[in-house]
Amino acid sequence: MKGFYQAIYRDDDLNKAKRFASERMDGLIEHYATLSGVERYVLGRYYDRVELTVEADSIVPYLNNKQELRATVIFEGEYKGDNVKDSRDVVLVQEEGTWRVDQILDPRYRP
């Protein structure tokens, strides 16, 4: 999961991010096509520099489905000189034996 965000925010590489993305997320990345588009419409946040942590105790089955996991990612970074701290809940699905980023949940509707 961290690899997905690092590919976008640190490496500026959407193709690398796709390696960590589910088929659904891959389709969103293709649709928005640019780093700026993905940051704005899929991830909902821009960063010039960011550090990521995953809250280990937040990793739980999503909606009681053991084939999907929800985890909280904490972001601490900078954008245009301002310090920015945020969190997002991410849904992971298992595809081809690997956990992949499938959804970025809207923080207003956290289940």
Task: Tell me the pLDDT tens digit for each residue of 13-70.
Answer: 999 999 999 999 999 999 999 999 999 999 988 999 999 999 999 999 999 898 999 9
In this predicted model, which residue has the larger pLDDT, 109 or 32? 32
pLDDT over threshold 90, residue 107: no
pLDDT at residue 109 greater than cutoff 80: no
CA dist., res. 81 & res. 32, Å (int): 26
pTM above 0.85, yes or no: yes
Mean per-residue pLDDT for 79-98? Answer: 94
pLDDT in the model for residue 95? 93
Chain-centroid distance, C-alpha 51: 13
